Amino acid sequence: MTATAAIAGYPRWREVLEARWRDRLSEVTELSLAFHDAAAAAPDRMLAQPESGLRRLMDEAISARKALADTDEALARLAAGRFGRCEQCAAAIPPGSLHRQPEERYCPRCADDGALAVTP
């Protein structure tokens, strides 16, 4: 038993987040490599076409990087002892929300707040 194990759920959340981080990292790697391969083979003008597979690959790679960054930040909050607390009001985020989305950073009340409702 380490001192950090005293924080409820700490060891499990770290495992969950690290597993997600690894999954997201390989997704970023695969999408980025696929994009660069496709981009190297395609003419420049294809990048500007919204319907092209190249554009879709680029968008997917960007989303995957954002998701990886979200998990990274959740791991940083865990290390800092702020995981599971709302970043806006410091209220506890319900376990159900964290199970659905371990990267959740706001409690339901703040997440419903118009100012924060900018999730893509």
Closest to Zn ion by CB, 69 vs 89, is 89
CA distance linking residue 62 with residue 31, whole number of Å = 9
Residue 14: both structure tokens together: 């770290």
Closest to Zn ion by CB, 15 vs 112, is 112
Residue 115 CB, shortest distance to Zn ion, in Å, is 11
Eight-class DSSP state of 86: -
Site string for Zn ion, 50-89 (x = CB under 5 A): ------------------------------------x-xx
Per the DSSP assignment, residues forming a β-bridge with 85 are 92
Closest to Zn ion by CB, 63 vs 97, is 97
Look up residue 119 and give its amino acid.
Answer: T
Residue of 16, 39, 62, 110 that binds Zn ion (CB under 5 A) = 110
CA distance linking residue 49 with residue 25, whole number of Å = 27
Residue 94: both structure tokens together: 């319900």
End-to-end CA distance of the chain: 40
Residue 81 CB, shortest distance to Zn ion, in Å, is 17
Residue 85 CB, shortest distance to Zn ion, in Å, is 9
Q: Which residues bind Zn ion (CB under 5 A)?
A: 86, 88-89, 91, 107, 110
